[in-house]
Structure 1
Amino acid sequence: MFLILLRFSDNKASATDHMSGHKEWIRQGVDVGTFVLVGSIRPGVGGAVIATGTERHLIEQRVAEDPFVIHNVVVAEILDIEPSVTDARLAFLAG
């Protein structure tokens, strides 16, 4: 699984200009089952995504297509996590 951190960058002020495209990018990731959680990093420093079910190069490609990344609203960091212990409610992440 992957933890994608999207931290605001130099062009944060243009976030509203690219918000609809960013939300569509999120929706597509959820619709295809790649994104299993999307949320904000508090206090207002960016966002985070948990992604699963694919390979790193595909995650990198998907992240590169985010309008926020394209327009330097955020800088993305992708952490590759290999789950070893999970609560039963999250067992699908270990598979």
Structure 2
Amino acid sequence: MFIINLHYIVPLEELDAHMDAHVKYLKKYYEADVFLMSGRKVPRTGGIIIAQADSKEILETIIAEDPFFQHKLAEFTITEFLASQAHPGLKALLRD
């Protein structure tokens, strides 16, 4: 499991010009069962994506498709973690 942390580095107006393409990108990877949850930070300084992938390298390739990455609108950091506990509704996501 991974936490992708986005930190916006441009004014929100510039970011919003690419929001539709970013949402389309997110939907692609929700449909592929890579992204599990995402949303804006409060205050709106970036975003968080919770993802699952076989490796950090695969996830880095996926992130390279994000318009926010391609247009250098945000800095991305990836934190890998081993999920050992989860809410009962999310237990199917835990890997042995």
TM-score by length of 1: 0.89
**Residues 1:61 and 2:61 aligned together:** yes
TM-fit CA distance, 1:13: 4.0
Identity %: 26
Counterpart CA distance in 2 for 1:2 and 1:47 is 14
Query: What stretches of structure 2 of length at least 5 have no aligned partner?
Result: none
TM-score by length of 2: 0.88
Query: What stretches of structure 1 of length at least 5 have no aligned partner?
Result: none
On the 8 A contact 1:3/1:50 being kept in 2, the answer is yes
Structure-2 residue corresponding to 1:6: 6
TM-fit CA distance, 1:36: 0.6
TM-fit CA distance, 1:49: 0.5
Structure-1 residue corresponding to 2:28: 28
Structure-1 residue corresponding to 2:90: 90
| Greater helix share, structure number | 1
